[in-house]
Structure 1
Amino acid sequence: MKGFLCEDTIEGIFTGIYDAWASGMETGHENVRLFLIRQYEPELFFEYEEVFPDADKAEKVARAIRKKISGEAFRRVYRTAMSSQPDRADAIYRFLMEGFRYKEDTLRMLQLPAVGRVFELARKVANEAHLFLEFIRFEQLKNGVLFAAIAPKSNVLTLVAPHFEDRFSGENWIIYDETRALAAVHEALKPYVLARLTEEQAGIFLDRNKENDGYTDLWKVFFNTIGIEDRKNYRCQRTMMPLWYRKHMTEFL
């Protein structure tokens, strides 16, 4: 058995798929598996090979998915790659084995375990990203930049940033994923970019040294007074807004 160890990025996973596919063409795809570096446990009878991200290989895989299966298949694969589940790289590989065989019909074949797994992972990521569109809370820094910190389970930053790029196109803002030390940085009227922040850089934003413009306190007062005491249902509230989302929500700080 051959195991390919890939980096936990979309480029890293797609590069791993490219190299694994070439190996599978010779030894059989069932004898090949993908693992994420630092997220796997060595197994007996496996020969491991580390894969280094290659933009050209990753682009070839992305183009093949769009052309040979469909654009919707690529969107599901992308969301799956953003999942927090350790088997996501291998799940995509198994899905593509079916996808390149059944083409556009693949997405309707949920009875196939590989297709069902990608559907499940992609749906969870999409649902989490959708909730963060509602739960992200911006605070104003002293320099006027809007800053929001999140700690998502999945890597949803590239799924939520385009929404705010359109919604707040004229603002300077930063959305910081503290789980991955990754930030979406938007300069007014320009496309957002992704940037890795060091611990020191992140600390500058996370020290709560924000500009007090009154809106933060106003929002807290509104949240605490708008509800009807006799109709409060904390169980329902936790269902609609799970506790782990609230770490960076203004009204719960």
Structure 2
Amino acid sequence: MIYVFDGSLEGLLCAVFEWFERKPGKIILKTEKLYQPDVFTAHFPVINDAQKADRVWKALQKKLDKGWMRRYYCCYLSEQPEAYSHLFELTCMLFTGQAGAENNYGDPSVLAVTQWAKKVEREKHRMEAFIRFQQTADGYFYCGIDPDFNVLPLIMGHFKARYADQRWIIYDLKRNYGLHYDLEQVEEIHVSAEDLHRFKKPAAANLLSEQEVHYGNLWKNYFKSTNIVARKNTRLHVQHVPKRYWKYLTEKHSL
């Protein structure tokens, strides 16, 4: 039996609810995006239901402490098909096994959820460290990102607290949604395909303010003047700042 869900957290939790209601035995969990019909294997389409998902989530909160609930959520944000399957297996095990099953790191699902959560947390910290805003002509501070994992929900609180006196937008170009802060609250936003193309290269689209261009050049010159060529250690530098993050750093862009 293949359970097919929409890839959302609500859908994953509903899949758990449906499994316990039907008890079909061993199942394979697939997202709608990856599912391919198989004439030899029956499939069950999971329909999202907020009440069912809420019941499973509240039951999980009784089984897991806050640290483990965060691991669970971070693992989901990895967006990896195998991570979804391990979350499903772990959830079913928690509700059918003995107390403390989440601490059995010999279990493949427990270990996998922990490992995926660590990868997502690492990506979160790197986004918080390497994001560089650019001021647009209308006074907003903007940054476009394309992280490996869906970390926007995790970094929202950090930037709201750190830049509470500035209006800013952080947009995930890979997932086509972003966060907009208007000095009071943070809300999720989506833009059209045309605006998305402009967001990818704000400088080329003449979206940046004149001051931002000057500030960028000043920072590049400062970085160049303080750099000691004789002590350059590219290997160590790449270890601390992987090359895939250089596109976010102003000092890495040529003058």
Normalized against structure 2, the TM-score is what? 0.88
TM-aligned CA distance change 1:44 to 1:154, over 3 Å: farther
After superposition, give the CA deviation of every residue in 1:208-235 in whole Å (9 maximum; x if it has no partner): 2211323222222232232221111111
Matched, 1:47 2:46: no
Whole-Å Cα distance in 1 between the matches of residues 84 and 191 of structure 2?
25
Contact kept, 8 Å, 1:135 with 1:245, in 2: the verdict is yes
Residue 236 of structure 2 aligns with which residue? Answer: 236
Q: CA deviation at 1:43?
A: 6.0
Residue 196 of structure 2 aligns with which residue? Answer: 202
TM-aligned CA distance change 1:22 to 1:203, over 3 Å: same
After superposition, give the CA deviation of every residue in 1:10-33 in whole Å (9 maximum; x if it has no partner): 22332333323433xx222xx122
Matched, 1:133 2:128: yes
Whole-Å Cα distance in 2 between the matches of residues 220 and 107 of structure 1?
48
Contact kept, 8 Å, 2:12 with 2:88, in 1: the verdict is no
Matched, 1:143 2:142: no
Matched, 1:108 2:103: yes
Aligned CA RMSD, in angstroms, stands at 2.0
Q: CA deviation at 1:41?
A: 5.4
After superposition, give the CA deviation of every residue in 1:58-108 in whole Å (9 maximum; x if it has no partner): 2222211111232222211100110042212111011113323233x2342
Name which of structure 1's ranges 33-42 and 206-215 shifts more when overlaid on structure 2: 33-42
Whole-Å Cα distance in 2 between the matches of residues 143 and 169 of structure 1?
18
Whole-Å Cα distance in 2 between the matches of residues 68 and 95 of structure 1?
11
Whole-Å Cα distance in 2 between the matches of residues 54 and 94 of structure 1?
20
- SS of the residue 2:208 aligns to: coil
* Runs of 5+ consecutive residues of structure 2 not aligned to the other structure: none
Name which of structure 1's ranges 86-95 and 44-53 shifts more when overlaid on structure 2: 44-53
Residue 18 of structure 2 aligns with which residue? Answer: 19
TM-aligned CA distance change 1:36 to 1:223, over 3 Å: farther
Contact kept, 8 Å, 1:5 with 1:35, in 2: the verdict is yes
AA aligned opposite 1:94: E
Q: CA deviation at 1:250?
A: 2.0
Contact kept, 8 Å, 1:171 with 1:189, in 2: the verdict is no
Residue 78 of structure 1 aligns with which residue? Answer: 73
AA aligned opposite 2:24: T
Q: CA deviation at 1:40?
A: 4.7
Q: CA deviation at 1:48?
A: 2.0
Whole-Å Cα distance in 2 between the matches of residues 40 and 129 of structure 1?
29
Residue 152 of structure 1 aligns with which residue? Answer: 147
Whole-Å Cα distance in 2 between the matches of residues 230 and 41 of structure 1?
57
Q: CA deviation at 1:142?
A: 0.6
Mapping of residues 154-169 of structure 1, within 5 Å = 154-169=149-164
- SS of the residue 1:183 aligns to: strand
Name which of structure 1's ranges 59-68 and 148-157 shifts more when overlaid on structure 2: 59-68
Residue 247 of structure 1 aligns with which residue? Answer: 247
Residue 211 of structure 1 aligns with which residue? Answer: 209
TM-aligned CA distance change 1:230 to 1:42, over 3 Å: farther
- SS of the residue 1:163 aligns to: helix
Contact kept, 8 Å, 1:62 with 1:74, in 2: the verdict is no
TM-aligned CA distance change 1:93 to 1:159, over 3 Å: same
Q: CA deviation at 1:51?
A: 2.5
* Runs of 5+ consecutive residues of structure 1 not aligned to the other structure: none
Identity %: 28
After superposition, give the CA deviation of every residue in 1:33-62 in whole Å (9 maximum; x if it has no partner): 211222355667432233343322222222
- SS of the residue 1:179 aligns to: coil
